[in-house]
Amino acid sequence: MTNLTTQSRWTRVRCPVPRGSERADAFLTTLLGPALNGMVADGQVCCWLFERAPGPAIRLHAWEADRPVLMARLTGLVAATQPHREPVALLGPGTPTPTALPTLAPELSSRSTQVALDVIAATPTHRSRLRTAVDLAITTAIGMDLHSADALARLALCDDIDPAAATLGMLVCPRGLDESAPTHGGQWRRIRDVLRTGSGHLARWAGCLAELGASATGPATAMHRLLNNQLGLGVDDERRIYGTVVMSLPGAARRRRVMRPRVPVAARCAYRRPDVATSD
């Protein structure tokens, strides 16, 4: 795999995207992705990836790119679709941040980006994307040989959730994700069956992970975080994904308890309904 010791081999560009998630996704999958892949085929870019940035923009990272040609192509795409937006801006040298992948080859990051583009195109709604993200997270856990809540915590799918509490059923997953694991352990078996076929975006994602090796938890975490970022998923989404994955573990508690604040009996007895005022 390619050595990343020379940061200047990355060309980093801030590129505006259309406002609105649907329009931004369409720009990525139907315009930007094909254009960059065409440049790769023509030898003008070795490989590329993107990160969603704050606001309607992405940070594009191109490895060993013909910078004048790249900037001209991106400027033309933005001008044709967003004539009144800010121009494409060339950023300083450096590896991709903040989801930095300093230990990964550019080619591998580029392959995972192609998986992200396929998932974006196949999941037009937020709910469908969350369901697919759960499948991808389980695929990540399988690829990294993580089969317990404590092990999943090492993957850092979401840092601020106590895996033990989730395993005990104290974490409540939102409606729409609960049914993604109708029988505990069943979803893991289903995904293993899918991976055996060797086709589809789950198998392609598993192939990217296989190049890292089961012991490379740190790089796998970085690559998985980048994937979630590319899919447009935030911290709250990752929290839901993590909770669903933990609750889908084989042997997880079947019943989930909703934690509600308890009102003392004395306080309940002290409550009196106010008298209804009546007119004379």
Domain 7-90 class? alpha beta
pLDDT at 179: 41
Q: State the average pLDDT over residues 241-259.
A: 64
Cis peptide before 98 (omega within 30 of 0): yes
Q: pLDDT of 195-237, one tens digit each?
A: 998 889 999 999 998 887 756 677 788 888 889 999 999 888 8
Handedness of CA 270, 274, 275, 280 (dihedral sign): positive
150 or 249: which carries more pLDDT confidence? 249
Q: pLDDT of 76-96, one tens digit each?
A: 999 999 888 889 998 876 545
- Measured distance CA(49)–CA(232) in Å, rounded: 14
Residue identified by tokens 């013909």 is 66
List the domain boundaries for the chain: 7-90, 106-247
Q: How many CA atoms within 13 Å lie on the side-chain side of 5?
A: 1
137: tokens are 């997270």
Q: pLDDT of 20-72, one tens digit each?
A: 999 999 999 999 999 999 999 999 999 999 999 888 999 999 999 999 999 99
Closest among 124, 115, 129 to 25, alpha carbons compared:
124
This prediction's pTM: 0.77
- Measured distance CA(249)–CA(244) in Å, rounded: 9
Residue identified by tokens 């697919």 is 132
- Of 74-78, 101-105, 118-122, 268-272, the poorest mean pLDDT is in 268-272
Q: pLDDT of 177-196, one tens digit each?
A: 444 444 456 888 899 999 99
pLDDT at 130: 94
C-alpha to C-alpha distances, 116 to 27, 227, 276, nearest whole angstrom: 14, 6, 61
Q: At what angle do helices 200-212 and 217-230 cross, to 10 degrees?
A: 150
pLDDT at 222: 82
